[in-house]
Amino acid sequence: MSDSPAPRGHGPEAPSAPRRHARTLAAPGADPSTPSTRADARHGESTHLTPQGPPSGRTTGLPARALADPHLVYDPLPGDGPKDVVILGSTGSIGTQAIDLVLRNPDRFRVTGLSANGGRVALLAEQAHRLKARTVAVAREDVVPQLREALSGLYGTGEPLPEILAGPDAATQVAASDAHTVLNGITGSIGLAPTLAALEAGRTLALANKESLIVGGPLVKALAKPGQIIPVDSEHAALFQALASGTRADVRKLVVTASGGPFRGRTKADLAQVTVEDALAHPTWAMGPVITINSATLVNKGLEVIEAHLLYDIPFDRIEVVVHPQSYVHSMVEFTDGSTIAQATPPDMRGPIAIGLGWPERVPDAAPAFDWSKASTWEFFPLDNDAFPSVNLARHVGQLAGTAPAVFNAANEECVEAFRAGALPFNGIMETVTRVVDEHGTPRGGTSLTVADVLEAETWARTRARELTAQTAEARA
Ligand SMILES: NC(=O)C1=CN([C@@H]2O[C@H](COP(=O)(O)OP(=O)(O)OC[C@H]3O[C@@H](n4cnc5c(N)ncnc54)[C@H](OP(=O)(O)O)[C@@H]3O)[C@@H](O)[C@H]2O)C=CC1
Ligand SMILES: CC(=O)[C@@H](O)[C@H](O)COP(=O)(O)O
Ligand SMILES: [Mn+2]
């Protein structure tokens, strides 16, 4: 539903001038007509080239095209002022931190569109007013009167209110509106349609909403041009930066760090009694409730292993997880010569968000750096797969591919909700998700997965997870 007298956005079927996307830096000895520097490339015609292989005719042994690759020359920055950005999930943890970054960098970024579910209307109206956003989208149509009233209270007489879009497709519409970059900071696989719409409309996608990639991997891969996706998840932004240190042929493995969550060191038996409050007490990051519970079960790390596989085209057996309680090192790449390149900052998502919005440029003072005059301890431990079986289960569904990751994620989303509502014990989350994945059996779709396949598998998984949760609740009563 559009609440605007004259919609100013452009739908996916009528995008504004298509955005250019990345091409690779030329390797030594490459065709001299290929630009060899970013500056050259900015002035040249952009084509969707297959990324350049390593020099000297060596082959990587890896697929030629990864969704995210720091060796690509990313979309040139607009020369005529700040980059137009749409923020999906603007009222959440990612969204509010992105807005902090935008407000501190008005010369670099300008917000044109915002979207949220509708749970924090006053905040959304305040954001729209402060940022002078053109469009505000809410999923919940029932909050539109409240939103209009909040906006009216903030805008002066004669000052036109922003366009209001409302309904389940509102975020998808704003994702396709005219902008340079879309930051997807929505929680959950409901973010899939906006991810696909942003890609289809030719926007650069700064991707925090990992769920959309995980449930729709082949769909995202089919739509995304090289250089169209920049990862915002801290581990993947770290890998992106570390991968710049070598060629794909030089990569031996990706090492994804995990804080271990609030229950690090506990046994499965210990976990039987933990509360929602305990699970929400993340040791290092302040995040929305779903990802925080996912960090406690380590499902977040499982999702991130699949995310790393999809973004960087590295096989699962070359993606390792290591527990690093301080969350200083956000992930690492081990190269074939034995060198490991780590990306490190104090935990603060404004760093990775700045990579997502600003790349190929770094945003000065995006987030605080380390103070090396103070002593600090950096620890690394192996993962306890018995207490936290979720990473292995995620590897399994990632390898099955097709609808399997969507089933895993949807069942988990339902179980997290049930746990938060007191209807499922903590260990019940993984027990239920495992059972739903097992019952799903052989996935459908493969590389020709469709949106309908994903939605059907999700509906089935959510229904089955609710049935199993209800049985658990009955048995406990
Ligand atoms: N927070 C973090 O540090 C990190 C988060 N991520 C990922 O980023 C994403 C966002 O996480 P986070 O910011 O923590 O989550 P939050 O719960 O803090 O925020 C979620 C946002 O999504 C909005 N939203 C929910 N449902 C819809 C919908 N149907 N349509 C439009 N908007 C909707 C919410 O609106 P409303 O306020 O109205 O409910 C809110 O703005 C997740 O995928 C998470 O895994 C990844 C790495 C780090
Ligand atoms: C900040 C971020 O990227 C989160 O995904 C974070 O990684 C969660 O911490 P865990 O390592 O505990 O899952
Ligand atoms: Mn992460």
pLDDT one-digit tens code per residue, 67-114: 999 998 787 666 778 999 999 999 999 999 999 999 999 999 999 999
Ligand nearest to the CA of 353: 1
Domain with CATH 1.10.1740.10 in the chain: 248-345+380-476
In this predicted structure, the answer to whether residue 228 has a pLDDT above a threshold of 90 is yes
CA–CA gap between residue 125 and residue 106 (Å, rounded): 19
Domain 248-345+380-476 fold is Rna Polymerase Sigma Factor; Chain: A (1.10.1740)
Question: Given pLDDT bands bounded at 50, 70 and 90, which one contains residue 239?
Answer: very high
Measuring CA to CA, how many Å separate 18 from each of 180, 234, 312? 10, 29, 25
Q: Ligand 1 pocket test: which of 111, 115, 117, 120 has the largest number of ligand atoms within 8 Å of its C-beta?
A: 117
Asked if residues 313 and 65 have their Cβ atoms less than 8 Å apart, the reply is yes
Asked if residues 184 and 198 have their Cβ atoms less than 8 Å apart, the reply is yes
Domain with CATH 3.40.50.720 in the chain: 83-231
In this predicted structure, the answer to whether residue 300 has a pLDDT above a threshold of 80 is yes
For position 78, what pLDDT does the model report?
66
In this predicted structure, the answer to whether residue 33 has a pLDDT above a threshold of 70 is no
Structure tokens at 314: 């590295």
Angle, vertex CA 135, rays to CA 133 and CA 136, nearest 5? 95
For position 226, what pLDDT does the model report?
87
Q: Looking at residues 445-453, what average pLDDT do you find?
A: 93
Q: Looking at residues 386-407, what average pLDDT do you find?
A: 98
Distance 232 CA to ligand 3 centre (A): 8
For position 77, what pLDDT does the model report?
67
Does domain 83-231 fall under CATH 3.40.50.720? My reply is yes
Question: Given pLDDT bands bounded at 50, 70 and 90, which one contains residue 142?
Answer: very high
Give the ligand 2 atom nearest the CA of 347: 1
Tell the residue nearest (CA) to atom 3 of ligand 2.
Answer: 234
Average pLDDT, the chain: 88
Q: Looking at residues 389-397, what average pLDDT do you find?
A: 98
For position 181, what pLDDT does the model report?
97
In this predicted structure, the answer to whether residue 9 has a pLDDT above a threshold of 50 is no
Ligand nearest to the CA of 345: 2
The mean-pLDDT minimum among 27-36, 64-73, 101-110, 402-411 falls in 27-36
The mean-pLDDT minimum among 12-21, 205-214, 220-229 falls in 12-21
Question: Given pLDDT bands bounded at 50, 70 and 90, which one contains residue 473?
Answer: confident
